[in-house]
Amino acid sequence: MYQSRRWGKKKMKEEIETLQLAALTLRDRLVSLENTVNTLMDQARAMKEELLILSVKKRRG
């Protein structure tokens, strides 16, 4: 019985470590996705600004 309980604790500790690693991996992926979204938003703002500049130039002739 003692050995069974000890094995259970060992397995539980391994599971916790696996879940912690998975959580860290997910966090890293989330940060990466946030960075990608920020980059895309910056590019969209720059394109919008460029379109405004071009439309003003077109109006002025």
More confident residue, 10 or 30: 30
For 11-33, write each residue's pLDDT tens digit.
Answer: 999 999 999 999 999 999 999 99
The pLDDT value given to residue 53: 94
Give me 32's structure tokens: 């990466």
Q: How far is CA 48 from CA 33, 38, 53, in A?
A: 22, 15, 9
Chain-centre distance for alpha carbon 60: 44
Boundaries of every domain in the chain: 1-61
More confident residue, 60 or 17: 17
